[in-house]
Amino acid sequence: EPEVTQTPSHQVTQMGQEVILRCVPISNHLYFYWYRQILGQKVEFLVSFYNNEISEKSEIFDDQFSVERPDGSNFTLKIRSTKLEDSAMYFCASMYVRERFYGYTFGSGTRLTVV
């Protein structure tokens, strides 16, 4: 079964450092998403990406965040200057739409720890 692959699985970084989280979506999917989940809390939407541009972003997705699809396969989330409160699980998801059916798949996540 096709999977969304995220790397690394765990990243520890110092406050103020830049991090790049990587995702390889399912190959025939056209819509891409980043979500985050602070420990013990609900999953929160960050950003959606379609046709090489941001479709929607939440209030969490401020100027410190950016997304890119640099080579047509990878989908990256960059946090320019990490803060302690950025510590969370970050999930990538991809989706295709066919008539009335969604195929929406999440990756296993990257656990980001900011120290």
Partner 1 sequence: QQQVKQSPQSLIVQKGGISIINCAYENTAFDYFPWYQQFPGKGPALLIAIRPDVSEKKEGRFTISFNKSAKQFSLHIMDSQPGDSATYFCAASIRSGSTLGRLYFGRGTQLTVWP
Bridge-based pairing of strands 31-37 and 43-50 is antiparallel
How many helical (H) and strand (E) elements, i.e. helices and strands, does the chain have? 0, 11
Q: How far is the CB of 21 from partner 1 (least distance, A)?
A: 13
81 or 102: CB nearest partner 1: 102
Q: How far is the CB of 16 from partner 1 (least distance, A)?
A: 27
For 21, counting Cβ atoms within 10 Å of its Cβ (0-12 exposed, 13-18 middle, 19+ buried), the class is: buried
DSSP annotation of 33? E
| Cα 95 to Cα 27: distance, rounded to the nearest angstrom | 10
6 or 82: CB nearest partner 1: 6
* Residues binding partner 1 (CB under 8 A): 4, 31, 33, 35, 41-45, 48, 50, 55-56, 91, 93, 95, 97, 100, 102, 104-109
Q: Are 21 and 93 in contact (CB under 8 A)?
A: no
Q: How far is the CB of 92 from partner 1 (least distance, A)?
A: 8
Q: How far is the CB of 10 from partner 1 (least distance, A)?
A: 10
30 or 115: CB nearest partner 1: 30
